[in-house]
Structure 1
Amino acid sequence: MKPPPTLSRARPLWLSSARAELIWCGLFALFVLGVGIGLRDPWPSDEPRFALVARWMVEHGQWLFPHRGHELYPDKPPVFMWTQALAYFLTRSWRIAFLLPSLLSALGAPALTYDLARRLWNHRSALLAALTLLVTIHFTYQMRNAQIDPLLLGWITLANYGLLRHLLLGPSWRWFWIGCFFAGVGVVTKGVGVLALLMLIPFAFVRRRGWRHVARFDGSAGRWALGAAAFLLPVLAWLVPMVLIAQADGDPQHAEYVQNILFGQTVHRYATPPGHLHSPAYFLGIIAVDWLPLSLLLPWALPAWWRRLKRRDARFLLPLGWVVLVLLFFSLSPGKRDVYILPALPITALALAPLLPALLRRRGVRAAVFTLTLGLSGALALAGALAVTRHPKWSLRLEQSLDPQIWWLFLAIGLAGLVIVALTRLRRAPQGWLAFATVLWSVYGLWGYPLLNGDRSALDVMRKARTIAGPQAAIGLIAWKEQNLLMAQGPVAEFGFLEPWPQQFADASAWLQADPAQRWLFSLDTAMGACVNRSKATYVGHANRREWWMFRADALVAGCVPAGTKDGSGGADD
């Protein structure tokens, strides 16, 4: 295969030079993915949990055994929290640090997609593939969140990049070892990073059948074996110190952590998941809806892919085969979440790359993209206008947990989208979607983040709780969520996160009565039961669809413990 042309000789798509296009697209990616960073705190369900663990690492130096409050957090390996802690050391701002790993991963994925597609095909196809990935709703939305899955996508995309550089454009053993190494990093980030190595299955098939565009190797078994060593290196670098320390200190909690992280959160969760149960066809719906507008191209892409597969072109079978294997792997488990197949998006965009210049010129494709932009803009404008002027019941119900100004945000995005549709029309429908995506994510980041942050992050209720208690009093938390402890102001105490609520209440009551003049309790309303005289309690406010109260020792009903065994763990942590 001939080497790809340099940017100075590549045929540009829109501007006068390919280099200028790449610079502008990089700035566009930084804006779309980064606008709003620093304007909000972590939001549930997962963000406060990971930020809380990362902050504990920074404050207490507990790097191998993550903690959620004073309890161990055994549900995930610590790599993502390590990156957040490192980002804090670099920025000294948790508002920036908790989102920085996702942002870097989000910027890396389209960059790697572009570079690999340019080497396999050309600059024009590669640029369109990167832009398609960037403005696919599922990608942009998830990569703007501070969860493990965006970072996992980054590691798996980097692993796939290294493997494909070797398997299609090689031999390049250095890139093969790099790919295996980052597959291992993916494992210690969230077990399923090993899925990157599934790329070797379609490769074995095409190599045996003699397909075109596949690299030829000298058959050195030692070099292939070094790939296994590279994969195991990051796994063992985390696993060995953790196991040795757990055995040496004799702490039963550490031993339980090792058992849970190695087996409970991998094999057990895959085979018998605790929640998010869906049918085997679940991910087809995710692709159809969440992958818009990329999914609109699939009716035309599928027959085009089939024609190229019949020509025995390995450049298509390897990425497409890998995507199918990933879908099959997650479909076989009863537990499914939309983010599980997120790492398949960059590789799907890669497989689309050579088709995009022709597809985006087709009238049917442009009509589909135009309809999507018009429909979404119209729906947002209509919902906003009705809520602002008519106040229907559905809008009033939503306003119980959302700031009423959210409807003005909907209206602004919708009207801007309708203006874009009128200007770009059918002929420039793809450019219209790019413009609409810019408006959508910039308004969401610059207006939506500050608007929603007080309620979603629990910042408002925790500030009010401190105002009620005063600057010196300690506040004990009952039935708390991670965002309550993370956003707490001043001295606080907690009585376990996974402890049943009655036990938390009993422990908190004893703590309160030990120094009633300087202590308050902050509790979820349903956790108090009939054990608190609410006429002597203070209503704090509403946050995250929950009601919160504060009270002192004189509000306790003597000898009362709330009934029930419900705990504060919330939903499944995936």
Structure 2
Amino acid sequence: MQTVIPLGVKAFSRKIDDTILCGLAMALWLLALAWIRPLSNPDEGRYAVIALDMLRTGNWVTPHLNGLPFFHKPPLYYWLAATGYEVFGVHAWVARLPSMLGAWLASMSLLALARRYASTSTTVTTVIIFLTMPFTFLAAQYANMDMLLAGCMCACATCAFIATIELQFGKSWHSWIMAAGVFAGLGFLAKGLTGLVLPGLVWCMWIVWERRWNQLVLPLYPPAWLAILAIAGPWVWFAQKQHPQFFHYFFVTQHFQRYTETGFNNPQSWWFYLAVITLACLPWTLTGIYMLFRRWRTLQEFMPKSDSHPAQMSLDRYMVVWLLAVMAFFSIPSSKIVGYVLPALPPLAYLIARMWQTAFAGGELHLPQLTSKLAINMGVSAALCAALAIGFGIKGVPQKARWDRLAALPVQPDDRIMMLGQLYYGVRFYMHTDQVAWIVDDWQAAQASKSDNWRKELLDAADFSPNSASHLLLGKQDANHALCTTKHRVWVVGEPETANQMTPSLSSSKPMLELGSRAVWLWTPDKAKC
């Protein structure tokens, strides 16, 4: 007897198959060209080697920067990258997997959200626009926490919106608000309190706009908070147990002081992120601005209501609030880093897609014209993404200055490393050594400076482990003594001029490798001239 499969089951199965295919296509696109360039300093080298040290030491609670506790950021990136090293090996593209995962999570969240409350054309266009924004593509192939945070925030904001709408229509909402709690907890582990505060801010502002006063209690659902505590709580508890000063440093110094004070790096004007998004998301931002001016009188009604989902208007408003809230939140502090504003890209992609839909619904363009113009924009954007990735990979880093050339050096397990006047983050990653480095600098002058740089990172880390720091952070007068008393070979990395000042015994030695303005010497104890 032939089994009859209900139409609803067939449709659901087809939907699952389509989702899997879309997910695979997104992953392949994000992985493309991720291998083409070496790690960039400082961010990529810093985070990649911290994750590598976490794998090598087996300490999954305390991240270490050159052997010293480093609590600037939570550990989710390090956990994911370290796991990637274990599975795929130690490669630059593996260090970028957490960022690719963040972009993929944001894409899948957009797919789930738009598919549920918008048309198929809007859904497909939204996801393609997001993935072909050069800002998205390049950030997904950059090893730091920003895209990972954007992915967790997008998933959290998506689940919170769905839970609210499902509650409005009397449908099951409990699992969605629980999922929002899960992604909020992961957002905390990705970048700290921002992963909790930002999605909550977006949701609250939207609730106020739509006057959904009876749904304000939704975030108080206890299982959602239990999910947050179950995911984020254990790491905080163990970190505080290992380091009693962790709580104050992580929450007060790295969150509130960084947000409110002006002494941290890269101060910029309030309009900085407007310029960043406009330029880094071309040509889509130009397209959006053009469509906005063409349709400004009908923005209150993106599509005829007869063709819209009942929640379409609410979703449109939610995306507007999401975009503006993220822009405003990160524009308030004087310190502004380009990647901070990445959580604004998913709603921007959706709103641009809705602009295209408005043009068709309003009769300004016929369907063939709309499809043709959309395809041209997609092709140009995808080509621009690839060109930028290849350009940065081949031309952005001169061949003679690429840190991956260090992999060819005959490094032995017991060899030490000394860095002169600079923390070269990627050196230990490419030299494949477990040995932490001596960092030689004027540390007394560095303590008097308030600049937010590599010196401050190491000095902050030294407060957690003063004994280790005393052996690793050497003054200028100690460099030559360390070389002359060690029983191991030492790879010395620095600029020739700095090397002559700090290590006179190297003045007659020829570098083993030159990397642009930097050089690498091999110090052998049996040939030492002290």
Aligned to 2:261: 272
Contact 2:291 2:355 in 1 (8 A): no
In the alignment, is residue 537 of structure 1 matched against residue 498 of structure 2?
A: no
Aligned to 1:193: 195
Q: 1:513 aligns with which of 484, 492, 509?
A: 484
Aligned to 1:335: 335
Aligned to 2:318: 318
Deviates more, 1:280-289 or 1:356-365: 356-365
Q: 1:453 to 1:24 in 2, by over 3 A?
A: farther
- Partner Cα distance (2:380, 2:356) in 1: 20
Q: 1:129 aligns with which of 126, 130, 144?
A: 126
Deviates more, 1:493-502 or 1:98-107: 493-502
TM-score between both structures, scaled by the size of structure 2: 0.76
Aligned to 2:248: 259
Cα offsets for 1:250-280 (capped at 9, x unmatched): xxxxx3x443222211111111141110111
Deviates more, 1:92-101 or 1:326-335: 92-101
Aligned to 2:454: none
Question: How far off is 1:34 after superposition?
Answer: 0.9
> What does 1:519-530 correspond to in 2, within 5 Å?
519=490, 521-528=492-499, 530=501
Q: State the Cα RMSD in Å.
A: 4.1
Q: 2:403 aligns with which of 437, 452, 458?
A: 458
Q: 1:326 to 1:529 in 2, by over 3 A?
A: same
SS at match of 1:320: helix
- Partner Cα distance (2:284, 2:40) in 1: 27
Question: How far off is 1:454 after superposition?
Answer: 5.5
**Which residue identity does 1:481 align to in structure 2?**
Y
- Partner Cα distance (1:227, 1:517) in 2: 54
Cα offsets for 1:289-320 (capped at 9, x unmatched): 11222312134337267423999932222221
- Partner Cα distance (2:486, 2:181) in 1: 57
Q: 1:308 aligns with which of 283, 301, 311?
A: 301
Q: 1:493 to 1:127 in 2, by over 3 A?
A: closer
Deviates more, 1:493-502 or 1:434-443: 493-502
Q: 1:180 to 1:309 in 2, by over 3 A?
A: farther
Q: 2:521 aligns with which of 542, 550, 553?
A: 550
Aligned to 2:185: 184
SS at match of 1:62: coil
> What does 1:73-472 correspond to in 2, within 5 Å?
73-170=70-167, 172-191=173-192, 192-194=194-196, 195-208=198-211, 224-247=221-244, 255=245, 257-273=246-262, 274-296=264-286, 297-301=288-292, 303=296, 306-308=299-301, 313-359=313-359, 428-442=372-386, 449=393, 452=397, 457-460=402-405, 462-463=406-407, 466=409
Q: 1:224 to 1:541 in 2, by over 3 A?
A: same
Q: 1:265 to 1:514 in 2, by over 3 A?
A: same
- Partner Cα distance (1:491, 1:351) in 2: 48
Question: How far off is 1:32 after superposition?
Answer: 2.9
Aligned to 1:568: none
Cα offsets for 1:139-176 (capped at 9, x unmatched): 11111111111111110011011011112344512211
- Partner Cα distance (2:8, 2:141) in 1: 32
> What does 1:19-58 correspond to in 2, within 5 Å?
26=23, 28-58=25-55
- Partner Cα distance (1:188, 1:227) in 2: 16
Cα offsets for 1:45-96 (capped at 9, x unmatched): 2111111111111111121111112122221111110111122233234344
Question: How far off is 1:457 after superposition?
Answer: 4.9
Aligned to 1:485: 428
> 5+ unaligned residues in a row in structure 1: which ranges?
11-16, 211-215, 248-254, 367-423, 559-574
Q: 1:182 to 1:509 in 2, by over 3 A?
A: same
Which structure's relative contact order is higher, taking Cα pairs within 8 Å and 6+ residues apart?
A: 2
Percent identity of equivalent pairs:
18
> 5+ unaligned residues in a row in structure 2: which ranges?
1-6, 306-311, 447-472
Contact 2:156 2:199 in 1 (8 A): yes
Cα offsets for 1:316-345 (capped at 9, x unmatched): 222211221221111111111221111111
SS at match of 1:550: strand
- Partner Cα distance (1:183, 1:547) in 2: 43
SS at match of 2:243: helix
Question: How far off is 1:221 after superposition?
Answer: 7.1
SS at match of 1:521: strand
Q: 1:454 to 1:141 in 2, by over 3 A?
A: same
**Which residue identity does 2:379 align to in structure 1?**
A
**Which residue identity does 2:292 align to in structure 1?**
A
Contact 1:106 1:143 in 2 (8 A): yes
Deviates more, 1:501-510 or 1:346-355: 501-510
Contact 1:32 1:441 in 2 (8 A): no
Contact 2:491 2:520 in 1 (8 A): no
**Which residue identity does 1:342 align to in structure 2?**
L
Aligned to 1:65: 62
Number of residue pairs aligned between Structure 1 and Structure 2: 473
Aligned to 1:388: none
Contact 2:206 2:321 in 1 (8 A): no
- Partner Cα distance (2:203, 2:521) in 1: 58
Aligned to 1:382: none
- Partner Cα distance (2:8, 2:116) in 1: 10
Q: 1:75 to 1:473 in 2, by over 3 A?
A: closer
